Chains A and B, each alone.
Chain A
Amino acid sequence: KAGVTQTPRYLIKTRGQQVTLSCSPISGHRSVSWYQQTPGQGLQFLFEYFSETQRNKGNFPGRFSGRQFSNSRSEMNVSTLELGDSALYLCASSDQGAAGANVLTFGAGSRLTVL
């Protein structure tokens, strides 16, 4: 079956702009998580959605937001972009509920560059 698809793969924005990234999970997976990866901070958890509800949230400012649609596709939005938001944004899906083993399947990521 098809893997996790993230779009766009690459994008360049300028400071102050906003960006929306999209993630299509594996068919049947209801949980979608987002991570930010930078050379200095490594992989950091942003948030997780399950059945259209945010179930968990990391320590990021309110400029970072997300949502999940009824078909489990998810989007994340970053407003008022800063240079430090340049990163690889990774989406992962899982077919497990809260008590499950949380085996994540990751997409290839969206690489955001803020100038």
Chain B
Amino acid sequence: DAKTTQPPSMDCAEGRAANLPCNHSTISGNEYVYWYRQIHSQGPQYIIHGLKNNETNEMASLIITEDRKSSTLILPHATLRDTAVYYCIVRVLGDSNYQLIWGAGTKLIIKP
């Protein structure tokens, strides 16, 4: 079962910041939060990940609440090419190794 909850879809105007929320209320203390995105007909692309602290890279910022029950992915200046399905994922311990549990994702549409 997915450990994350995301809105099914969101719109954002081109050039504006896109803020994608994710709830992971059952996350454990040592479980990372990952974000990937999938552009139509392509394989998912890694964006960012974090454990407790906020993270930033060249693609996005990840804001994790202090209680770790939710997080927000921020695309600072969205472009049309950012239209994709965005997955918020928690890494859990499987049989003998960690595995990523994928939810349904948020379909983000960037409008001109």
Residues of A within 8 Å of B45, CB to CB, are: 106
Decide yes or no whether A78 CB sits under 8 A from chain B: no
Query: B94 at interface (Cβ–Cβ under 8 A)?
Result: yes
B43's contact among A4, A45, A102, by CB below 8 Å, is which? A4
Number of A-B contacts (CB under 8 A): 59
* A56 and B46 contact, CB distance less than 8 A: no
Please name the residue on chain A nearest to B87 by beta carbon: A43
Residues of the A chain whose Cβ atoms lie less than 8 Å from the Cβ of B43: 4, 90, 92, 106-109
Interface string of A78-90 (1 = CB under 8 A from B): 0000000000001
By beta carbon, the residue of chain B nearest A108 is B43
List the A residue with the shortest CB-CB distance to B102.
A43
| Interface size range on A against B | 20 to 34
User: Do residues A105 and B99 form an inter-chain contact, with CB atoms below 8 A?
Assistant: no
Assuming the A-B contacts A56-B94, A101-B49, are A43 and B99 also in contact, with contact meaning beta carbons closer than 8 angstroms in the complex? no
B-side residues, CB < 8 A to A, are 32, 34, 36, 42-46, 49, 87, 91, 94-105
30 A–B contact pairs at CB < 8 A?
Answer: A4-B43, A33-B99, A42-B102, A42-B105, A43-B102, A44-B102, A45-B99, A45-B100, A45-B102, A48-B97, A55-B96, A55-B97, A56-B99, A57-B94, A90-B43, A92-B43, A92-B44, A98-B96, A98-B98, A101-B32, A101-B49, A102-B91, A102-B98, A102-B100, A103-B34, A103-B49, A104-B100, A105-B46, A106-B43, A106-B44
